[in-house]
Amino acid sequence: MMGHLDEILRIFAAVPEGKISEWNKRVALACVKEGLAVVLIKPGGKEPACTLNAAETKRADAEALAAGRRSHECGFKHAITEPRVFTHKRIKELLENGCNLAIAPGLGSTKIVIVDVDTADEVTAFLADQAKEEGLAAGHSTPPTVSSPGSWAKDRTGYVMDDQGGHVWAHSGGGHYWFVTDRDLPEQGPGKYRAPGGWTAMFRDCYVLIPPSVRAEGAYRATGSAVSAPEWLLDRIRTAATARKESWRSGDLRGSEALDDWSALHSGSEIAASHGYLPYSHDLCGCPTWTRPGDASHLKSITTCEVGCSRFDTSLGWGPVHIWSDAIEGFTGGETITPLQFLARLDHEGDTRAAMGAEGIPTTSLPAEASEDPNDQALFEIMGPDLPKVPGRPTRP
């Protein structure tokens, strides 16, 4: 284990189940003293609690409104990094009422990368990548630092049940691997790296729950160690961030007039609303954010950028859709796609040509480089990663 996190993991392991309100302050304070940023979560769930008092909330909402957002953001925006904050009345009330706890990578003095594995298959994929990169024996087994209770499947009517009246699992058998580093991590772009095997390395602009947190599905438990981040993992994170930054800087949307005309008439916001996404707030660029249908762990699932967006060039009459959540089937957290691709993923299993046919867009309007592959990988490469960036604007997505 990393020496300065040993005590935190020992505290995690010592927490008796069902005693969250007696232990959460001790755990939170220990985390902050060891350089981790703590986020308070509403009891029994994953949704962040607002830690501001009434006056602070009013001021923050006014600032957000002036910036073009509906209300201020919570979550990692309210991360606690100073022990003195635990004396504040609002913080004390939340802890006494049994709030869950999370840590926000990238905000504390201790630099930490957390690999999120939602399922047993993702655990296997991560360990296979680790074995290949580090020359370990195939099939080696290392338990997550923290095991997650998993998530029950939900639809619009509530929890999904099987024929025997039991819950259907959306995710199970996963958890979080903790890696500590003293190396610099990307400060721009998405704070996540999504691997082909489905596991996600998270290092900024997010939070993950920790013991003694408990949800309806069960408790979070300490089951492993925190270790130094391997160079191969850091290299993947930096390489992905650099490639994304360069594509934004020099990108060129090589679409067609027909595609642009359709996109201008069918915004990402319109598509999101018609597919059960619920308005949440506004992003830093002033554009709407939405919560995905179902049991959303985080309320900001996507951002639908509109004409006038301060982040992307919308001079063609439309803006892209940025996917924040890595829990939306068919999408990858951190990607930025066109409205047409968004619709194709939602209604046509990612087949962009099928979406064009259904919308009456002639496929002859596709760029010459587009392949005949029904999944349109060439079209994705042409229209997706190379979304143009407004010169001089920050590249944080």
pLDDT tens sequence across 257-306: 778 888 888 999 999 999 999 998 888 788 899 999 987 767 889 999 98
pLDDT at 361 over 90: no
- 187 and 77: one domain? yes
- 172 and 289: one domain? no
Looking at the domain assignment, is residue 389 inside a domain? Answer: no
The stretch 196-215 carries a mean pLDDT of 91
Of residues 115 and 307, which shows the higher confidence score?
A: 115
Angle of CA points 361, 332, 233, to nearest 5° = 145
Looking at the domain assignment, is residue 391 inside a domain? Answer: no
Instruction: Count other Cβ atoms within 10 Å, centred on residue 84.
Output: 8
Question: Last residue of some domain: 240, 268, 297?
Answer: 240
CA distances for 339 relative to 246, 378, 395, angstroms: 22, 17, 20
Specify the amino acid at residue 81.
T
- 212 and 288: one domain? no
The stretch 175-191 carries a mean pLDDT of 88
- 231 and 255: one domain? no
3 confidence band (pLDDT: 50, 70, 90) = low
Question: Last residue of some domain: 240, 273, 292?
Answer: 240
Looking at the domain assignment, is residue 357 inside a domain? Answer: yes
- 22 and 169: one domain? yes
HEC sequence for the chain: CCHHHHHHHHHHHHCCCCCHHHHHHHHHHHHHHCCCCEEEECCCCCCECCCCCHHHHHHHHHHHHHCCCCCCCCHHHHCECCHHHHHCHHHHHHHHCCCEEEECCCCCCCEEEEEEEEEHHHHHHHHHHHHHHHCCCCCCCCCCCEECCCEECEECCEECECCCCCECEEECEEEEEEEEECCCCCCCCCCEEECCCCCEEECCCCCEEECCCEECCEECEECCCEEECCHHHHHHHHHHHHHHHHHHHHCCCCCCHHHHHHHHHCCHHHHHHHCCCEEEEECCCCCEEEECCCCCCCCCCEEECCCCCCCECCCCCCCCEEECCCCCCCCCCCCEECHHHHHHHHHCCCCHHHHHHHHCCCHHHCCCCCCCCCCCHHHHHHHCCCCCECCCCCCCC
- Provide the whole-model pTM: 0.68
Dist. CA 25–CA 217, nearest whole Å? 23
Q: What's the number of domains the chain is made of?
A: 2
> Which of 17-21, 64-68, 187-191, 217-221 is modeled with the greatest confidence?
217-221
pLDDT computed for residue 70 by the predictor: 67
- 279 and 288 in contact (C-beta within 8 Å)? yes
> Roughly how many angstroms between the first and final C-alpha of the chain, as a whole number?
33
Looking at the domain assignment, is residue 394 inside a domain? Answer: no
What average pLDDT is seen over the chain? 82
Dist. CA 246–CA 162, nearest whole Å? 47
> Phi-psi category of 101—alpha, beta or left, where left has phi over 0 and alpha has psi -120 to 50?
beta
From the list 316, 317, 328, 284, the residue with the least C-alpha distance to 303 is 284
73 confidence band (pLDDT: 50, 70, 90) = confident
Looking at the domain assignment, is residue 392 inside a domain? Answer: no
pLDDT at 388 over 70: no
Rounded CA Rg of the chain:
22
- 315 and 288: one domain? yes
pLDDT computed for residue 121 by the predictor: 93
- Copy the structure tokens of residue 226: 């925190």
Dist. CA 257–CA 329, nearest whole Å? 30
- 164 and 60: one domain? yes
Which pLDDT tens digit goes with each residue over 113-162? 999 999 999 999 999 999 999 999 988 899 999 999 998 887 656 788 88
Question: Last residue of some domain: 240, 274, 301?
Answer: 240
- 209 and 292: one domain? no
**Percent of the chain with pLDDT strictly greater than 90:** 45
pLDDT at 69 over 80: no
Looking at the domain assignment, is residue 153 inside a domain? Answer: yes
- 188 and 256: one domain? no
Dist. CA 176–CA 200, nearest whole Å? 10
- 164 and 304: one domain? no
pLDDT at 63 over 90: no
User: Which residues does 15 contact at the CB level (< 8 Å), separation at least 6?
Assistant: 23, 27, 211, 212
pLDDT computed for residue 363 by the predictor: 66
- The residue segments making up the domain with residue 189 are 3-240
Looking at the domain assignment, is residue 163 inside a domain? Answer: yes
Task: List the single range of 8-12, 233-237, 242-246, 368-372 with lowest mean pLDDT.
Answer: 368-372
- 189 and 301: one domain? no
> Would strands 173-181 and 226-228 be described as parallel, antiparallel, or unpaired?
parallel
Which pLDDT tens digit goes with each residue over 85-124? 999 999 999 999 999 999 999 999 999 999 999 999 999 9
- 74 and 50 in contact (C-beta within 8 Å)? yes
Looking at the domain assignment, is residue 332 inside a domain? Answer: yes
- 291 and 144: one domain? no
pLDDT computed for residue 4 by the predictor: 66
- 129 and 121 in contact (C-beta within 8 Å)? no
